């Protein structure tokens, strides 16, 4: 566990950190070959269950999907999001974090927020629970449309203070979501732990995306999402071919029959 985390920290200013989400063994098995971190994100709420907010994702949801993901990972650091209202106080947070790690065999958890939850994060770290921070847009706290952060001087100062606070209490990395370019650049240069951006510019130490988004499986117009391949087209081609061969009685042949 600690060796994997040290490896991530050592990439700061040397090599970009690659992070993607996974919610099942099959996806985890494939992306594990290429990434440094696999995040079981509470984004699974919208991706898999069509929830309109990550607040609807339960601890049970996260643990069940994380168990599946764990089976597909050989080398990557596995991080699991702590869902909404599972870390409202130190006692609750520690109990749930221990449950996540015990039942999923992940190496770390991720929590959203800065100074408001600093004592909770500190308590987890004091109890040997590795924590990844998350600043900028906080999906568990957002009501309505997402708005980028760090545009005003006030927001910039707050984000910088929160970043340094998370570093000082022992977080090993921080996700910066939708943070304005100059602010994310400033934060990345001001702290010694890695920043992992999503919609927060090339200046972050690494990048994370929802795997289903980059594969073109989700319909989304979010600015930071780039579709690297149209997997829906590939799926359609395969299914059409299957249908055609079944209708024409070309499948199954003796090769595929007992």
User: How far apart, in whole angstroms, are the C-alpha atoms of residue 127 and residue 99?
Assistant: 13
Which residue of the set 64, 107, 177, 245 is catalytic?
Answer: 177
> Token digits for 184?
């994310």
Q: Is 155 a catalytic residue?
A: no
Q: CA torsion sign, 191 to 54 to 214 to 68?
A: positive
User: How far apart, in whole angstroms, are the C-alpha atoms of residue 236 and residue 231?
Assistant: 9
Nearest by Cα to 46 from 212, 177, 230: 212
User: How far apart, in whole angstroms, are the C-alpha atoms of residue 111 and residue 79?
Assistant: 10
Cβ neighbours for 148, distance < 8 A, ≥ 6 positions apart: 136, 137, 178, 179, 180, 199
> Token digits for 225?
């999402």
Q: Cβ–Cβ contacts within 10 Å for residue 137, how many? A: 20
- Structure-token match 């999906």, residue found: 139
Q: Tell me phi and psi for residue 84, to 5 degrees.
A: -55, 135
Nearest by Cα to 36 from 66, 79, 68: 79
User: How far apart, in whole angstroms, are the C-alpha atoms of residue 174 and residue 196?
Assistant: 6
CA 137: distance to chain centroid?
13
CA end-to-end span of the chain, whole Å? Answer: 46
Catalytic annotation, residues: 177
């Amino acid at each position: 566990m600690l060796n994997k985390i040290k490896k991530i920290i050592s990439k700061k200013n040397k090599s970009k950190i690659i992070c993607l989400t996974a919610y099942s063994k099959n996806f985890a098995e494939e992306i594990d070959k290429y990434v440094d971190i696999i995040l079981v994100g509470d984004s699974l709420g919208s991706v898999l269950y069509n929830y309109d907010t990550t607040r609807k994702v339960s601890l049970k949801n996260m643990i069940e999907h994380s168990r599946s993901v764990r089976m597909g990972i050989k080398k990557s650091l596995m991080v699991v999001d702590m869902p909404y209202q599972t870390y409202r106080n130190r006692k609750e947070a520690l109990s749930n974090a221990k449950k996540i790690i015990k039942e999923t065999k992940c190496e770390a958890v991720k929590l959203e927020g800065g100074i408001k939850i600093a004592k909770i994060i500190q308590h987890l770290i004091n109890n040997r629970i590795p924590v990844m921070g998350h600043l900028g847009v906080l999906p568990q706290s957002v009501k309505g449309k997402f708005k980028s952060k760090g545009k005003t001087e006030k927001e910039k100062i707050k984000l910088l203070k929160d970043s340094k606070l998370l570093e000082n209490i022992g977080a090993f990395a921080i996700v910066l979501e939708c943070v304005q370019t100059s602010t994310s650049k400033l934060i990345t240069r001001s702290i010694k732990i890695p920043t992992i951006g999503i919609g927060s510019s090339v200046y972050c130490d690494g990048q994370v995306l929802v795997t289903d988004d980059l594969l073109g499986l989700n319909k989304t117009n979010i600015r930071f999402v780039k579709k690297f391949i149209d997997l829906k087209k590939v799926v359609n081609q395969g299914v059409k071919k299957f249908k055609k061969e079944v209708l024409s009685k070309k499948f199954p042949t003796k090769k595929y029959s007992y």
